[in-house]
């Protein structure tokens, strides 16, 4: 009888526990300055906020022109400027460079992998060592 009572107590405790549980909210997205989307932005609108110039070290920069998810990208590196066409995909801008797919995405200075930008908060990165920020 004691075993049946113990089993019934455990079952009742489990039921009360389950009834008291609420679905938890999903974790908040990681934020990086003003480059993080909110509930009211679409992928295109989100990347549209990146329009303008983003600066890197030693005179390098990324310039994004366009809107509604279609962009002209100018990337100035130490070899000079190059221009690409880009399109918004999953909160990133996709473009082709040297016959390879590349993406521009939001990060912070540390996420660029560049010590010159490490303290910045509002940045974009193409790959580690190729990042650009706004002050």
Higher pLDDT, 18 or 112: 112
Span 43-102, pLDDT tens digits:
557 899 999 999 999 999 999 999 999 999 999 999 999 999 999 998 999 999 999 999
Extract the tokens encoding 70: 């279609």
- The H-or-E segment that residue 6 falls in is helix 2-20
Q: What is the pLDDT of residue 42?
A: 56
What is the pLDDT, as a whole number, of residue 58? 93
| pLDDT > 50? residue 134 | yes
pLDDT the model gives residue 34? 44
SS3 call for 128: coil
pLDDT tier, 11 (very low <50, low <70, confident <90, very high otherwise) = low
C-beta separation of 91 from 47 below 8 A: yes
Half-sphere exposure of 22 (CA within 13 A, CB side): 3
The three-class DSSP label of residue 4 is helix
Q: How far is CA 113 from the centre of its chain?
A: 15
Going 87 to 100 to 36 to 72, the CA torsion angle's sign is negative
Give the predicted TM-score (pTM) of the model.
0.68
Token readout for 14 is 């489990």
pLDDT at site 61: 97
Q: What is the pLDDT of residue 32?
A: 43
Higher pLDDT, 74 or 10: 74
| pLDDT at 135 (0 to 100) | 75
Rounded to a whole number of angstroms, the CA Rg of the chain reads 24
pLDDT of residue 46: 87
């Amino acid at each position: 009888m004691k075993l049946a009572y113990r089993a019934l107590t455990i079952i009742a405790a489990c039921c009360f526990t389950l009834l008291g549980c609420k679905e938890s909210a999903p974790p908040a997205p990681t934020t990086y300055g003003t480059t993080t989307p909110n509930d009211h932005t679409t992928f295109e609108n989100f990347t549209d906020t990146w329009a303008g110039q983003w600066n890197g070290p030693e005179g390098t920069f990324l310039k994004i022109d366009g809107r509604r998810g279609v962009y002209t990208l100018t990337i100035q590196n130490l070899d000079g400027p190059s221009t690409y066409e880009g399109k918004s995909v999953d909160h990133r801008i996709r473009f082709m460079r040297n016959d390879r797919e590349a993406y521009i995405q939001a990060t912070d200075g540390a996420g660029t992998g560049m010590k010159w930008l490490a303290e910045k908060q509002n940045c974009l990165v193409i790959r580690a060592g190729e990042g650009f920020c706004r002050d």
